[in-house]
């Protein structure tokens, strides 16, 4: 009987290790694709980006370890790299001029407010990086929503001197069309969040993650497709409809968020149809907040709302599919009307 128990335990451990390897592989894929995005930020803004990322990751790991010890655990799960991924995502949606201490504050908010109060990784309701960014944007908008120009000499000091400017989202909010050449739009050579402007790199990373099935194609296409459709049908500025779509996609953190934040398996729906509804809802809310809101970076607030209703997306789509199937069966069973004599 003891051998049976040992065999059962061995089998159970093997099954769990396979699931862990899948999660580990997805986390590694995210880190691998975040690296080129970070390198583009280093190219535009210098070594300061690396220092910001290092500070954020170090404090994230330390705070994560502290929370684990308080919860009675002595080590991380073998598949859990969230203490590296979340701070890196947070840093890349911030301006390169952000003070180091503010990036650390964001990391602590992500850990102590958005993650462990719900039980740690795998149990959090809201995306930790989105929660941290939302708090920073509301608390320090002058530091979070003002950006240096690419190739500005930012240095590595605690404070950044020189002039900062508003991003593309702010100009669109005022009804003005940004004067950005086509290649600069694609390569990210304009002021904005340090890791969210280079659309070509983000699209390449997104394609890699889609091929690897690390992120959900339903969420990504639903988010970007619905946002692009609204930008095409209801442009905010007096430009061509195609330019309206391009400007909305490069504004804020929409593309970056669709690739690296929206498909978080912990905070997004579980079924295919639920993910499709979730993606469409996220894109529509992002654009509605842009049309009627006062905040420039609207994606993170739309994402937090969608995180809250993610389980309902699965439920509502399941009910809708069941209703459609019942209606189809009734139509199939309905007898055909008898032909009249004239026919």
A 10 A CB-CB count for 242 gives 11
For 332, the token pair is: 């199939």
In a domain, 340, yes or no: no
Domain count, the chain: 1
Mean pLDDT score, 190-196: 94
Task: Provide the pLDDT for residue 336.
Answer: 56
CB distance 68 to 294 below 8 Å: no
Is residue 13 over pLDDT 60? no
Is residue 113 over pLDDT 60? yes
In a domain, 336, yes or no: no
Q: What is the pTM of this model?
A: 0.89
**Distance of alpha carbon 38 from alpha carbon 32, whole angstroms:** 10
**Distance of alpha carbon 130 from alpha carbon 307, whole angstroms:** 10
In a domain, 127, yes or no: yes
A 10 A CB-CB count for 233 gives 11
Full domain range(s) for residue 69: 2-157+166-331
In a domain, 243, yes or no: yes
Is residue 9 over pLDDT 60? no
In a domain, 22, yes or no: yes
List Cα–Cα distances, 66 to 13, 53, 178, 274, 292, in angstroms: 27, 20, 45, 35, 41
For 161, the token pair is: 């001197």
Report helix, strand or coil for 342.
coil
In a domain, 343, yes or no: no
In a domain, 339, yes or no: no
Mean pLDDT score, 107-114: 95
In a domain, 106, yes or no: yes
DSSP symbols for 106-141: HHHHIIIIIIGGGTSTTT-SS-HHHHHHHHHHHH-H
Nearest to 152, CA basis, from 49, 52, 254:
49
The enclosing domain of 57 has a CATH number of 1.10.3430
């Amino acid at each position: 009987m003891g051998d049976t128990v040992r065999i059962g335990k061995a089998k159970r451990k093997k099954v769990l290790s396979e699931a862990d390897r899948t999660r580990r592989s997805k986390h590694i894929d995210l880190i691998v694709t975040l690296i080129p995005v970070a390198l583009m930020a280093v190219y535009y803004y210098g070594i300061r980006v690396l220092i910001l990322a290092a500070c954020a990751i170090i404090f994230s790991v330390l705070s994560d370890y502290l929370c684990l010890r308080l919860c009675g655990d002595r080590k991380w799960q073998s598949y859990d790299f969230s203490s590296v991924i979340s701070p890196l995502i947070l840093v890349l949606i911030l301006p390169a001029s952000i003070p180091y201490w503010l990036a650390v504050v964001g990391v602590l908010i992500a850990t102590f407010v958005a993650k462990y109060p719900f039980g740690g990784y795998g149990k959090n309701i809201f995306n930790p990086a989105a929660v941290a960014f939302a708090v920073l944007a509301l608390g320090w908008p002058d530091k979070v929503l003002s950006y240096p120009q690419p190739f500005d000499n930012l240095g590595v000091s605690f404070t950044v001197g020189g002039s900062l400017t508003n991003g593309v989202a702010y100009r669109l909010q005022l009804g003005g069309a940004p004067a950005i050449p086509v290649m600069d739009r694609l390569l990210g050579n304009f002021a904005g969040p340090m890791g969210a402007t280079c659309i070509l790199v983000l699209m390449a990373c997104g394609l890699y993650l889609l091929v690897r099935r690390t992120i959900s194609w339903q969420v990504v296409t639903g988010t970007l497709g619905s946002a692009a459709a609204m930008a095409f049908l209801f442009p905010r500025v007096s430009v061509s409809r195609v330019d309206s779509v391009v400007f909305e996609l490069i504004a804020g953190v929409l593309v970056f968020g669709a690739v690296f934040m929206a498909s978080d398996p912990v905070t997004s729906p579980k079924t295919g149809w639920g993910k499709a509804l979730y993606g469409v809802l996220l894109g529509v809310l992002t654009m509605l907040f842009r049309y009627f809101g006062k905040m420039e970076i609207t994606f993170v607030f739309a994402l937090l709302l969608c995180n809250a209703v993610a389980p309902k997306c699965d439920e509502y789509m399941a009910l809708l599919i069941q209703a459609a199937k019942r209606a189809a069966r009734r139509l199939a069973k309905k007898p055909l009307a008898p032909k009249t004599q004239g026919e």
